Chain A
């Protein structure tokens, strides 16, 4: 038995094509596409997602992946409405690479959490993976040059990015320090344009996490 996978997409073709692709890597995993509306048009169909989730569950639970925002909401609502919501989990990862990674993880007998993590981790390019898994520690000072500093969106981008690494990161401004996993804590630093922030990371991917953070800051968080 293995964890089942549901692919929630706005497009039936996208979900079906991806299910076909992922099945190549995971012949024994139940992968159910749930794409588009019943009439074939673009959208997400709650009833279909619920049905797909029930169909994908062979006893070890289900991991759902999604393409865009409202597909995520539909998937989360479907999970919430299951008789046992803990049987399914919505994975936050890129749809295509995530589905392949999740399918392979499920094929190798991993549990729901591991399969969902495999999907989420698929967002990190290979060159950012640590060369050696030894525990590391790294520090970095950066200047914020984007217009709004560490306001909501940049903070969220930073948290999301850091969460992909096996590292604990803190961000310091002056004598205040915030957890790099908390958007609210980062925002409460009140770091503005021109401020210099100090990042400290611990863990196997400490250096990679800071390198990526530097890229974000140098690129003004893509603003």
Chain B
């Protein structure tokens, strides 16, 4: 099974709806350990993405992701903008101008997105960041693909692993971003970036079904 530009655009719209729905939750998570703007920023960014898609959606999966990247980079203030922007930009570069998104391309895009986030934010596993959701997500996606899963199965496996990875940040001492200033005091709090990463992957997985 493959997915075309319309499918990717639909998944991005679904992600925007999920971000809007969880805006307050993300704000509350970030307020506990950061500056409280993650939900607002991300929602503003994805609302702009939807507006950009309404104005004219690109005709390849890579083109759609590039539009998402450039819009998020410009519209999301705070760390999430350059981080998610880089992830979508690197993923889109991997997809190139292909008209279909198949499982091998999806894996490459997921890996490139993770590498982009790590290169930009310089976080490693255990720092209590979105990387803690994305690393297990990419491994789970690889495993699901190896087991013969289609695009929906691969994304579902990624979303399941991202959920567990995000939950694991509750027990971690943050070592990046504003939460790192709190040190031990931030233990017991779910990282808002890890949570939003898991939400996005879940939205993509649901849309692919």
Contacts and interface: CB of A to CB of B under 8 A. Distances in A.
B176 A43 contact: no
Contact of A73 (B41, B121, B124, B178): B121
A37 B77 contact: yes
A74 B121 CA distance: 10
Interface stretch (B18-26, B82-90, B140-148, B163-171): B82-90
Contacts of A77: 73, 82, 85-86, 120
Contacts of A153: 175
B97 interface: no
Contacts of A152: 124, 175
B57 interface: no
A44 interface: yes
Contact of B81 (A68, A69, A70, A223): A70
Given A46-B81, A77-B85, A77-B86, A69 B74 contact: no
Name the residue among A42, A46, A76 with the largest chain B CB count within 10 angstroms. Answer: A46
B148 to A, nearest CB: 37
Interface string A2-42: 00000000000000000000000000000000000100011
A74 B77 CA distance: 9
A74 B175 contact: no
A47 interface: yes
B188 interface: no
Interface residues of A, number: 18
The dominant DSSP class at the A interface is helix
A73 B82 contact: yes
A42 B178 CA distance: 15
A70 B84 CA distance: 12
Contacts of B104: none
Interface string B45-80: 000000000000000000000000000011001110
Interface string A70-100: 1001101100000000000000000000000
Interface residues of B, number: 20
Interface string A140-162: 00000000000011000000000
A46 B82 contact: yes
A46 B79 contact: no
A76 B120 contact: yes
A166 B77 CA distance: 37
Contacts of A195: none
A177 interface: no
Contacts of B175: 152-153
Contacts of B81: 44, 46, 70, 74
B177 interface: yes
B79 A70 contact: yes
A45 interface: yes
Contacts of A73: 79, 82-83, 120-121
Nearest to B79: A70
A25 B73 CA distance: 34
Contact of B177 (A37, A42, A69, A76): A69
A46 B85 contact: yes
A45 B85 CA distance: 13
A42 B37 CA distance: 10
A47 B82 contact: no
Given A69-B176, A74-B81, 19 more contacts: A42-B77, A43-B77, A44-B77, A46-B73, A46-B81, A47-B74, A68-B178, A69-B178, A70-B77, A70-B78, A70-B79, A70-B81, A73-B79, A73-B120, A76-B82, A76-B120, A77-B86, A152-B124, A153-B175
Closest 10 pairs (CB-CB, A-B): A43-B77, A70-B79, A73-B82, A77-B82, A46-B73, A47-B74, A70-B78, A37-B77, A74-B82, A73-B120
